[in-house]
Amino acid sequence: MKRGREEPGRLRGEPPPRWARIAPAVALVALVLAQALTPDVELGFFLAGLPPVAAFAYGAGGTAVFAAVVLLLLGLPTLGVGHARGTDLATVAAVGLLSVVIAWVRQRRDAQLVSVRTVAEAAQLAVLPPVPERVGAVRCSGLYRAAQRGTLVGGDLYDVRAGPHGVRALVGDVQGHGLAAVGTVAALLGAFREGVIDDAGLAAVAGRLDRRLVADARAASVEHPELFATAVLLEFPPGLDLVRIVSCGHPPALRLRGAVVEELAVEPGPPLGLGLAGPALPAVAELPLQPGDQLLLHTDGVTEARDAAGHFYPLAARVPVLARDPGGLVRAVWRDLAAFTDGGPRDDVALLLLSLDGPG
> Which pLDDT score, from 0 to 100, does residue 147 have?
76
pLDDT for the residue 232:
96
pTM: 0.72
**Span 306-358, pLDDT tens digits:** 999 999 999 999 999 999 988 899 999 999 999 999 887 888 899 999 998 75
pLDDT higher at 172 or 217: 172
Burial of 225 (0-12, 13-18, 19+ CB in 10 A): exposed
Beta-carbon contacts of 131 under 8 Å, excluding residues fewer than 6 positions away, are: 1, 2, 3, 140, 141, 142, 158, 159, 160, 352
152-187 burial, b if ≥16 CB within 10 A, otherwise e?
bbbbbbbbbbbbebbbbbbbbbbbbbebebbbbbbb
Share of the chain above pLDDT 70, in %: 86
- Phi then psi dihedrals of residue 208, to 5 deg: -65, -45
Calculate the CA 24 to chain-centre distance: 34
Of the spans 85-99, 114-128, 267-281, 301-315, which averages the highest pLDDT? 301-315
Task: Read off the pLDDT of residues 260-288 as tens digits, 9 standing for 90 and up.
Answer: 999 998 888 889 988 765 566 788 999 99
Beta strands in 89-241 (DSSP E): 134-135, 138-145, 156-163, 166-174, 229-236
> Count of CB atoms within 10 A of residue 291's CB?
11
CA dist., res. 193 & res. 181, Å (int): 19
With a pLDDT cut of 90, the percent of the chain lying above it is 42
Q: What DSSP assignment string belongs to 225-286?
A: ----EEEEEEEE-TT-SEEEEEEEBPPPPEEEETTEEEE-----BPPBTS--STTSPPP-EE
Return the pLDDT at 358: 54
